[in-house]
Amino acid sequence: MDFQFLGYSLEYYQNNKYVGSVKVTQADRPLGYSGRKYQIAEQDIVIYNSMNKAKKIRKGTEYYTEIIVLCGKLKGSQEEKVSRLRSSFEWRNQLKSIGNEL
């Protein structure tokens, strides 16, 4: 589907838990899992969330980052949006009809 492009998010994880993210303008590596980058913090990293609460990754701690695409509104007219959403659920409707035949 065509969505409004808003940029990229650099997401930080520590011990497989989400710590926070920072908005970036360009992707410097592949997106998602394939671009995952493991690092050890050389200094304290402070990340602020939307509530302005700080989370810290301490120096010497292992963490990893991923880059994710940020998408906005769905593009197109209202009829196009509805038809796209309807077709995206077509697989579910087919499964229901198969289940009713059994």
Give CA separation, 97 vs 16, 41, 102, in Å. 39, 53, 9
What is the chain's length? Answer: 102
Which is higher by pLDDT, 86 or 67?
A: 67
- Per-residue pLDDT tens for 75-101? 888 988 888 888 877 777 777 666 666
- Is 43's pLDDT higher than 80? yes
Question: Can you read off the two tokens belonging to residue 92?
Answer: 């579910």
8 A C-beta contact, residue 35 and residue 21: no
Give CA separation, 4 vs 66, 69, 70, 76, in Å. 21, 11, 9, 10
- Per-residue pLDDT tens for 13-28? 999 999 999 999 999 9
Mean pLDDT, the chain, integer = 87
Buried b (16+ CB within 10 A) or exposed e, 52-86: eeeeebeeeeebebbbeeeeeeeeeeeeeeeeeee
Residue 48 pLDDT class (50, 70, 90 cuts): confident
Question: Can you read off the two tokens belonging to residue 24?
Answer: 């970036």
Read off the pTM.
Answer: 0.73
